[in-house]
């Protein structure tokens, strides 16, 4: 069994900000120009990585394998899963061209391998980060090979229970992965994920039990849940995106369109700033200038002559706040006025 470490170790990728991965996946529909447009949209949204999928259909699925229910719901043709995936393979030339294009757009290229051959191929492309997709979390040979090839790993946990997450983590660490170089993503593999099935607190449980950096791979509609995940401490966010949700293909309908992706990135960056404070409750520099205008002081409610006693009938509490604080109200009552006061004069 993996022992929980004392405190979270140094986080992978030297993360001083949340890493946002825009999952293009197979939403390029096998078209290099569409793939480049996806890269354009990801770069415009200012994400950290744009991620594709690397696989050979004959290594990934049998020719008789049925499609997932969401794949049937989201596509009109009657292709088998093998036929559908065969059309979505990325060639070597496509990988090379997209990597160069990403570099020209100043965005990092990333891809998920779905079979052993593709793992080796991505290593040849000199990628230094690998991701275990949810479907491979129980693939022992795959996990072993990934741990030996890649220094930094993201593990997605859709459809898995905690014991399976522990087992996969143990395989990775037994084969060379250091916990400080591992990020585990909570995930639900339904497209789209119903809100009632998100179970976002599971992300925190993974962090508590395994002592690793955590994140969230989102398949809900909208941007609320990934933003909430960041507020809870996610260090990596992954979200599918597309050029148009109405395009044919298995993943488009559960993906963000470019403007939504941009809105998600903006919201996450704002949340990052909002939760980055000291944690000490104290007034901020920006609000101090409003203190006198918003708080109140003890003032005369009617004319008071020197020598009169302050009572609840001749004093009250009003703005501004640079006079005596209402917190000393009881001490002021029954004391004697040392001078004359007109209505609304600050008591001092």
Rounded CA separation 27/24 (Å): 6
Going by their DSSP bridges, the two strands 315-318 and 297-300 should be labelled as antiparallel
What's the pLDDT band for 1 if we cut at 50, 70, 90? very low
User: Is the model's pLDDT at 73 over the cut of 90?
Assistant: no
Provide the pLDDT for residue 68.
79
φ, ψ for residue 192, nearest 5 deg: -80, 160
Domains observed in the chain: 16-274 (3.20.20.70), 285-332 (no CATH)
Rounded CA separation 73/308 (Å): 83
Question: pLDDT, tens digit, for every residue of 23-43?
Answer: 999 999 999 999 999 999 999
Q: What is the pTM of this model?
A: 0.88
Rounded CA separation 175/12 (Å): 17
Task: Give the whole-number percent of the chain exceeding pLDDT 90.
Answer: 88
Output the furthest CA–CA distance in the chain (Å, rounded).
Answer: 100
């Amino acid at each position: 069994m993996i022992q929980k470490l004392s405190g979270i170790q140094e986080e992978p990728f030297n993360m001083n900000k949340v890493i946002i991965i825009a999952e293009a996946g197979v939403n390029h529909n096998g078209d290099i120009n569409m793939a480049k447009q996806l890269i354009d949209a990801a770069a415009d949204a200012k994400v950290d990585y744009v991620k594709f999928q690397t696989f050979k259909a004959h290594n990934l699925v049998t020719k008789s394998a049925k499609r997932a229910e969401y794949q049937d719901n989201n596509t009109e043709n009657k292709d088998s899963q093998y036929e559908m995936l065969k059309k979505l393979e990325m060639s070597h030339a496509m990988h090379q061209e997209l990597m160069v294009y990403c570099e020209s757009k100043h965005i990092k290229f990333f891809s998920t391998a779905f079979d052993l051959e593709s793992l080796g191929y991505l290593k040849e492309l000199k990628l230094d980060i690998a991701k275990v997709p949810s479907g491979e979390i129980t693939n022992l040979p795959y996990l072993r090979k990934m741990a030996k090839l890649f220094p930094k790993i993201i593990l997605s946990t859709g459809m898995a229970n905690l014991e399976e997450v522990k087992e996969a983590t143990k395989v990775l660490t037994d084969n060379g992965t250091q916990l400080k170089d591992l990020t585990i993503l909570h995930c639900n593999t339904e497209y789209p994920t119903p809100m009632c099935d998100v179970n976002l607190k599971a992300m925190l449980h993974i962090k508590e039990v395994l002592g690793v950096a955590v994140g969230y791979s989102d398949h809900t509609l909208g941007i609320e849940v990934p933003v909430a995940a960041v507020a809870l401490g996610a260090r990596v966010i992954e979200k599918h995106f597309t050029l148009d949700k109405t395009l044919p293909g298995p993943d488009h309908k559960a993906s963000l369109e470019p403007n939504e992706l941009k809105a998600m990135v903006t919201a996450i960056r704002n949340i990052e700033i909002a939760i980055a404070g000291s944690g000490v409750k104290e007034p901020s520099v920006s609000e101090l200038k409003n203190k006198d205008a918003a708080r109140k002081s003890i003032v005369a409610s009617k004319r008071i002559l020197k020598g009169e006693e302050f009572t609840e009938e001749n004093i009250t509490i009003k703005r501004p706040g640079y006079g005596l604080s209402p917190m000393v109200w009881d001490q002021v009552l029954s004391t004697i006025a040392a001078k004359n006061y007109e209505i609304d004069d600050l008591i001092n």
